[in-house]
Structure formats: structure tokens, C-alpha cells
Structure 1
Amino acid sequence: MPFHISHLKFRGFKSFKSAEATFPEGFVAIAGPNGAGKSNVTDAIRFIFGETSLKALRAKKTAELINLNCSSAEIVMTIEGDRRIEIRRIIREDGSTKYELDGRHVTRDQALEALRPYGLEVGAHNIIGQGQVQNLVERNPKDRRQIIDAVAGISEFEEKKKDAMSELGRVENKISEAKVVLAERGAFLAELEKEKDAALTYIEAKQTM
């Protein structure tokens, strides 16, 4: 599904006390000197995609995600696709987080479900960090294929195919069970038919005596 991240707003996240950025469609490059916060932008995107691993967010504890001059942090992302959605993730000092979708409080699962049609989710390889390219090259062909399929969105259809085949298998099993029952019922009905014919023959013979 075609889309692009059109806007990011930061408040109290890592080095950003307050900042925002607007992105046009197409290729975008973020440049700046060391320590300017380039990596914190990708950390913010990981964060709003539902990342829960502090290691992936380059932090040792939750408090490190919050700017020293703030008591909480939040990221707001606007996505333009088949429709416009705004998703917000807030983290408090106690480490608890909450999500908002288009201004409404939602659960984490509901927020991530809204991102899933765009292929935006934790583990979907939307963000390739430092060292990950080398890691990809060194993986075996099967693992590389799985990653490429995930990035291309093929794995989603493979999962749906797997679910459909599983459901088809269950249906076929039920059909087989139904055929067995029908065969048993058919044999029983055939036996009853024989008994009926025998009874009719007996009645006719008795009437002619």
C-alpha cells in the first residue's frame, strides 16, 4: 500500500526537548554532525512502531528515553496513505506507555494494527541499523530470503496462505468424517431396506394363505 511518513513531532524524547520535522514524498536524507540526534530520529520511529527492547532503542533503562529536562516523552507520527492517520506514543517516568490513534486512546495492539497494513511493525526490517547490513550478508540463504520476503510484504501473504491451507485441511477432515458417517448410515439404511422387503414378503405370503 503506497504511503509515506509526512510528519514527526518529538517532545521530551532523548535529546529532543521539543522538535518536529516534515517529510516530502520520495527519498529523504537526514544529515548532521555527530551528536546532532540523527540516530534518535530512527529510535523515535522504532519507539512509535511499538519497539519494547531498550537495547534496540540504545538505552539501558526507560528513563534514558526521556529528556533530562522533561518528566515524560512523546512521539507523534503522521502517515499519508489511502487515508491520513496520526499515531502518538507517550512514555512516563514510571516506564508506562500509552497510545493514541487520531486523538483517541487505544491499546498497543489497536495502534499496531493500524500500522500493519503499511508494513510498519516491530521486526519488519523497516529500519536497518548500524551493523545490520553486515549481519544480513553473513546470514544463510534461507534467513536472507525470509528477511527479503518480510521487507517485500510477501511473508504476510505466506502467513495468510498458511492459515488458509490449515483451514482447508480442517474442512477436508470434516468432509472425510461426514463421508464415513454417511457410509455408515447408508449401510444401515440398506439393511433396513432388506428387513422391510422381508417383512412385506412375509405379509403378502400370510395374506395368500
Structure 2
Amino acid sequence: MYLEKLEIQGFKSFAQKNVLVFPGYMNGNKRRGITTIVGPNGSGKSNVADAVRWALGEQSMKTLRGKKSDDIIFSGSDKKGQLGMAEVSLYLNNEDGQAAVDYSQMVLTRRLYRDGNSEYLINDSKVRLYDIQMLLAKSNFGQKTYSVIGQGMVEGFLNTSLGERKEFFDEATGVKQYQIKRDESLNKLVHSLENLQQAEMLLTEIKPRLHSLTRQVNRLQKRDELEIELNDLQFNYYSQLWQDINDKFQEYNQQFLELEQQKRQKEKKIVLLNKDLTKLEGDRTVSREFNDLQQQLNRLQSEKDKLNIQLHKLEARLEVKLENSGNFDLSLWQTRSQELKQEVDSAQQEMEHLQTVIKDLTAKQQKLITKQTDLNQQWQGLNKELSAVREIVDRPGSGLSQQVTASH
């Protein structure tokens, strides 16, 4: 694994984006060339090495020749203002699979913003600093190894103590990854020990109030049990109440349906009775015909009486004349008497016929009157029952109107 390309933007003196491409294998051999950066003092040669070290995860500002994190962000010049971000990307060739990733090229990117926020990315995916340190440690490629020799590091290496030299050798021999894991485990153990100490302090502080807290917990548990029991009782009570209300609703609904059916039947009967009454009103002509026949009968009866009186007078006069003058003009009187008797008989027959017709009409009239009386009684009864049904249905406090409204 080797460095192919370096991109720097906003880091120290690199205001613009700068790209440094390093050579690979030369002439097909397994040897790579050497890249040398030359320039006058203050041109930024050491900043290139610092950029590589910073991108690999260096946290010491002293090693990066700075005092605070803002010092590594371009602070501005006469021609260009200061920038708000510093970014360095390392393009590493991983065709030999030295790094434990499934990529032939690995891009390590580190960004730092002026507000203090920072980002670490591997192939444009955000990661933690720990992930980068472990990946570089497993690949024997780190910011403190022989891979990056900064300004003054050789002299510093010769002047370091045995313990500091051991760190360089540990990283070079590949045991740095295990040291990182060991340090992380030790830090976790330290944090766990601190948490245990805090827990012991809390237990010591809480122990005097343990009995009081126990009683409160028991009360809360009892309260929960009573609350559950109360909920069950409320559920059973309201369930029974709902069942009763539902049964009453079904009963009222059935009563309403029955009353509604009775109402419709009675309304149909009233319609039929109204038709019959209309028909009876049309049959009043029978009564008028009866009155006319009655008047005609009375007139014939009067004529009959007049004819009978006239007949008796004629018979009396006939008898007197016969006594006075014998049989004089007897045939004329007999003929006249016979004619009068025929007229009387004819009137009698017509009168009997009229009496028969009047009798029939009287019977028919009596039946119609009786039927009309019955129909009027039925119509009045049905009106009373219909009014009672409507009063029950429309009564505000009866419950039926509310149930019917709810059902609709």
C-alpha cells in the first residue's frame, strides 16, 4: 500500500486546492521513485508533511507546529481572506490488500471547521477517529511511524527516552493496533471503576432512606394493584350498564317498530274508511230517490182517498136516484161506477208497488245508515289510536324518540 495522490485545501498556507500526484512503479519494475519537494524557506514544504500527518489522525498541535486547532486553517493574506474549513485527502493504493478493506484504492479525508467541528471519512463515508487509527494500525501505516518523518523528528528521536522510543518501535513492528485496543479496554475499565465508585457513593447516600423508599414502593405496588382492580370493576360495571342499555334499546326499538307497523295499518284502514265514506256520500242519491218516492206515494194515497170519497158519494147518489126514479139511467151509473173502481184498483196497485219499492229503499237506507254509523265509529276509534301512537312516539321523555333518533 502506498500513497498515490494528496489533495490539500485550506490547510495552513494552502488556500487554493492543491493536488500532489506521486509516481508509482517505474519502468514496470517493483521499485517506486522518490518524490522530493524543494523550495525556499517558508514556502510550505513542511506543511505537506504536516498535512499527511494530520490526515492520518494526529491530535497534537505541538507536533503540527501549532497552538490551537484554528492555526491549521488558512488565516488569510493580503490578497485572500481567511477560510472556514481545512481539508486534506490521502489517496492510498490498496491493490496488495494490506488494508483490511474491499477497495483497491482507499481515500482518507479529514475536515476541520472553524467552529470546532471535524469529520473523518473513508471513501466519502463518515467514520470515527478510532476506526481510522485501527485501520492504519492493522496496515502498519500510522502518523507516528517511520512512514512520516517530520521536521526535527530525527533529532527528537535521538533525544527521546527509552519509553518514547519504544512507542516508535511498537508501531513499526505492528503491535500498535493491540496497544490501541489495550488502551481502549483500560479506559473502559477506568470508566467502569469510576461508575462503580459513583454507584457505591449513591448506595451509601441512599441506604438510610432505603426503608422509606421500600414503604413507598410497597404503597405504589398496592396502588397499582388497586388501580387494576378498580379498572376491572369499572369495566365490568360499564359493560353491564351498556348491556342493560342495549337490551332496553332493543326492546324500545321493537316496540317502536310494532307501533310504527300498527300506525301504518291504521292509516291504511283510515284511507279505506275515507273511501267508503266518499262512496256513502255518493250514495246519498238513494236517499233523495227515497224521498221522491215517498212524496209520490203520499200523492197517490191522497188521490186514492179522493177517489174513494168520490166513489162513495156516487154510490150514495145512485142509491137515492134509484129509490126515487126506479131503474132510470142505471147503465150510465154502473158504467161510471165501474170506471171509478178500475181507477181505484189501478191506484191501489200503483200504491202497493210504490210501497214495495219504498220498503226496499227503506231497508237499503237503514243498512247504509248502519254501515255509515259503524264506519264513523271505526274512523273515530282509529283516529284516537293513531293520535295515541303519535303521542307515544313524539313524547320528548319517552325514550322511544331518542332511541329512534339514535337508530337513524
Distance between the aligned counterparts of 1:143 and 1:14, measured in 2?
A: 28
What's the counterpart of residue 36 of structure 1? Answer: 43
Distance between the aligned counterparts of 1:31 and 1:88, measured in 2?
A: 25
TM-score norm. by structure 2 comes to: 0.35
Is the 2:7–2:90 Cα contact (8 Å) retained in structure 1? Answer: yes
Instruction: Name the aligned partner's letter for residue 118 of structure 2.
Output: T
Is the 2:50–2:150 Cα contact (8 Å) retained in structure 1? Answer: no
Instruction: Name the aligned partner's letter for residue 46 of structure 2.
Output: S
Alignment deviations for residues 157-186 of structure 1 (CA, whole Å, 9 cap, x no partner)? 9x59xx9xxxxxxxxxxxxxxxxxxxxxxx
Distance between the aligned counterparts of 1:76 and 1:61, measured in 2?
A: 21
Deviation at 1:107, TM superposition (A): 1.6
Gaps of 5+ in 1: 164-209
Q: Flag the structure with higher strand content.
A: 1
1:136 to 157, 160, 171: 157
Describe the shift of the 1:56–1:144 C-alpha distance in structure 2 as closer, same or farther (beyond 3 A): closer
- Match status 1:10 vs 2:3: no
- Match status 1:23 vs 2:22: yes
Aligned length: 157
Gaps of 5+ in 2: 25-31, 76-81, 98-103, 183-408
- Match status 1:65 vs 2:72: yes
TM-score norm. by structure 1 comes to: 0.65
2:142 to 97, 101, 121: 121
SS of the equivalent of 1:113 reads helix
Distance between the aligned counterparts of 1:137 and 1:154, measured in 2?
A: 22
What's the counterpart of residue 337 of structure 2? Answer: none
Is the 1:146–1:155 Cα contact (8 Å) retained in structure 2? Answer: no
Instruction: Name the aligned partner's letter for residue 130 of structure 1.
Output: Q
Root-mean-square deviation (Å): 2.5
SS of the equivalent of 2:36 reads coil
1:100 to 112, 121, 126: 121
Is the 2:140–2:174 Cα contact (8 Å) retained in structure 1? Answer: no
Report which of the two structures shows the higher radius of gyration computed on alpha carbons.
Answer: 2
SS of the equivalent of 1:13 reads coil
Describe the shift of the 1:113–1:155 C-alpha distance in structure 2 as closer, same or farther (beyond 3 A): closer
Distance between the aligned counterparts of 2:134 and 2:67, measured in 1?
A: 28
Describe the shift of the 1:37–1:12 C-alpha distance in structure 2 as closer, same or farther (beyond 3 A): same
SS of the equivalent of 2:10 reads strand
Distance between the aligned counterparts of 2:146 and 2:122, measured in 1?
A: 23
Structure number with the bigger relative contact order (C-alpha 8 A, sep ≥ 6) is 1
1:80 to 93, 114, 118: 93
Describe the shift of the 1:40–1:80 C-alpha distance in structure 2 as closer, same or farther (beyond 3 A): same
What's the counterpart of residue 175 of structure 1? Answer: none
Distance between the aligned counterparts of 1:145 and 1:86, measured in 2?
A: 30
Distance between the aligned counterparts of 2:167 and 2:133, measured in 1?
A: 21
Deviation at 1:149, TM superposition (A): 5.0
Q: Flag the structure with higher helix content.
A: 2
Distance between the aligned counterparts of 1:37 and 1:129, measured in 2?
A: 13
Deviation at 1:22, TM superposition (A): 0.5
Identity %: 29
